[in-house]
Amino acid sequence: MNTAPLDNADAQTEHVNLNEVLHRFSTKAAWLAAERQTLPEAPRAQLEVLLREIGETVLPRCIDLKTKGQPIATLTVSNRRLFRFCLSGSPEKQITGNAADAKNLSSALIDLSKQATSMTSRALSDPAGTADSSNGCTVAALRNALAIDTRPCDISHLADLLEPHALAQMTWSGSPEKNVCTGADVWRPLMEAHAARLHAAIDGNAGGQIAGVRDTTGMAIPLSSDKVLVMACKGTLGVVSVTPVEDGLKAIGAWQIPDT
């Protein structure tokens, strides 16, 4: 596990999420190791894992990203910064801390997060070029360049977590009637009925307004021993998904941890 002194300059300047820190301290080492060997399937979650890995690496290391066992990119990371970036078969690119560089990295990182299926980290044999922090790009700069929505627990994040396991899923922006459905059509009427009802309940138009709730609100209804209907909406955005019980309820727990 990487460690950083409390008086580290980064710790003073970067935003530290206390919930995440507490969660990681309370998580068993074996689970963390397993989590790091295989990237989660949703691209957004993969990107978050990658950024977290960069943000937690203090000593110089290389992060190798692979898809189906084939290397696709190598990132050189040190002092919680990205220093070098190399796509397989392309020349290595030195990163600087300026905004334009971070912006250039954004599309490459998004593409990588869609392709990569595994990630390994190894100690860097030649740490030359990683000593000067001004030559690296911080996670905060990457997040800004990536325009990641840093509000915790947003709808799209939940949709990303549910999607890989969903038997059917429906998302909407605006009105639940204008939805996009994927998966088995047999679940569509059920999902549409519940999307409308949840939307109405949260808007307070159904005589059953949810008291005291102003944030993202969701519901999970076990349909049987192996299927659960998970739905959530906030404002004009929403998602409804039919998933296996275990996966659906795990997704809710994972969604409730900010920045995972």
Partner 1 sequence: MTIQNHLDQLRQNAPGCTLTAFGDLSSRLILRSSSAAPCPREVLDSLSQKAATCFSVIEDGHASELIDAGCYGHSAIMFTPGQSFVFSRSDTSADDVTCAVIESAQDVEQALRATRETVQKIGEDAA
Closest Cα to residue 194, out of 214, 158, 166, 223?
223
Contact flag: residue 201 with partner 1 (CB under 8 A)? yes
What are the tokens at 228? 């659960």
Given the complex with partner 1, which of 103 and 188 has the nearer CB atom?
188
Contact flag: residue 77 with partner 1 (CB under 8 A)? no
Measured between alpha carbons, how far is 172 from 175 in angstroms, rounded to an integer? 7
Contact flag: residue 185 with partner 1 (CB under 8 A)? no
Contact flag: residue 63 with partner 1 (CB under 8 A)? no
> Shortest distance, CB of residue 34 to partner 1, whole angstroms?
17
User: 219 and 231 in contact (C-beta within 8 Å)?
Assistant: yes
User: 76 and 126 in contact (C-beta within 8 Å)?
Assistant: no
Given the complex with partner 1, which of 18 and 211 has the nearer CB atom?
211
**Which range binds partner 1 by CB under 8 A, 87-95, 106-114, 163-171, 223-231?**
223-231
Helix (H) or strand (E) holding 104: helix 99-115
Would the CA dihedral through 247, 120, 55, 90 be positive or negative? Answer: negative
Contact flag: residue 221 with partner 1 (CB under 8 A)? yes
Contact flag: residue 220 with partner 1 (CB under 8 A)? yes
Measured between alpha carbons, how far is 153 from 42 in angstroms, rounded to an integer? 15
Given the complex with partner 1, which of 86 and 153 has the nearer CB atom?
153
Q: How many residues bind partner 1 (CB under 8 A)?
A: 40
Taking every pair of Cα atoms in the chain, the longest distance, rounded to a whole number of angstroms, is: 66
Contact flag: residue 229 with partner 1 (CB under 8 A)? yes
> Shortest distance, CB of residue 209 to partner 1, whole angstroms?
8
Measured between alpha carbons, how far is 54 from 121 in angstroms, rounded to an integer? 10
Contact flag: residue 42 with partner 1 (CB under 8 A)? no
Residues 125-154 binding partner 1 (CB under 8 A) are: 152-153
Residues 149-168: x where in contact with partner 1 by CB under 8 A, - otherwise, as a string: ---xx---------------
Given the complex with partner 1, which of 184 and 221 has the nearer CB atom?
221
Please report how many Cα atoms fall inside a 13 Å half-sphere around the Cα of residue 206, on the Cβ side.
Answer: 14
**Which range binds partner 1 by CB under 8 A, 29-37, 42-50, 78-86, 213-221?**
213-221
- Could you list the beta-strand ranges (E) of the chain: 61-67, 70-78, 81-87, 93-94, 118-123, 137-138, 168-173, 179-183, 217-222, 227-234, 237-244
> Shortest distance, CB of residue 183 to partner 1, whole angstroms?
16
What are the tokens at 183? 């998966």
> Shortest distance, CB of residue 232 to partner 1, whole angstroms?
8
Q: By the criterion CB under 8 A, which residues form the site for partner 1?
A: 23, 152-153, 190, 193-194, 196-198, 201, 206, 208-213, 215-225, 229, 232, 245-246, 249, 252-258
